[in-house]
Amino acid sequence: MKITSSSLQSENMRFLCDQMLGSLAKWLRLIGLNTFYADNEMEDSELLKIAKKEKRIIVTRDKELFCRGKKQNLKVIKISSTDLDIQLKQVLNGIQINKEAIFSRCSLCNTLIEKIEKHEIRDKVFKKIYKNNNTFWFCPKCDKIYWMGTHYKKIIAKINEIIKNV
């Protein structure tokens, strides 16, 4: 399924990426999109149940999962490439991205991250990171700490390039 309506708001969308799309799931989360990522133990029938119950759009490279989702009248995006940039463009086509939501989710577990006072993370990051940064966020579920390090500009540039070309 190709989503083409420019009126689609990203904050209203929920995705489910199958086991073959871990990198894509991570990048959708970095963009701020609520994205469930299936672990290797999950069967297709369980993914279909989750997608239906949570009103998620299935994102898959699996032809069988795609067909089963369509038969159940679920929204499904068939990913046709192994190239991450192409995958992102396929999913984001026609979606209006909320730039305020970028970096709002944990890239590991999909939980909304929260701002944390610098002094609270002193012993949780390397001294150099603590010294060179003033603003930090954390995931209340998995305790991952985030900051605007050297990777931040690269990620923003990639996101801007993807969004510009969608």
pLDDT at 59: 98
Helix (H, G, I), strand (E, B) or coil at 102: coil
Alpha helices in 55-116 (DSSP H): 63-71, 84-92
What tokens were used for 98? 């909320």
Q: Among candidates 156, 121, 157, which has minimal Cα distance to 137?
A: 121
Each domain of the chain, given as residue ranges in start order, spans: 8-104, 114-153
What tokens were used for 158? 């990639």
For 36-66, write each residue's pLDDT tens digit: 999 889 999 999 999 999 999 999 999 999 9
- Mention the CATH class of domain 8-104: alpha beta
What percent of the chain lies above the pLDDT cut of 70?
93
pLDDT at 95: 87
pTM of the shown model: 0.89
Q: Is 17 exposed, middle or buried (0-12, 13-18, 19+ CB in 10 A)?
A: buried
Under the banding of pLDDT at 50, 70 and 90, the label for residue 10 is low
For 78-91, write each residue's pLDDT tens digit: 999 999 999 999 99
CA 29 → CA 99, 120, 153, distances in Å?
13, 25, 17
Q: How many CB atoms lie within 10 A of CB 6?
A: 9
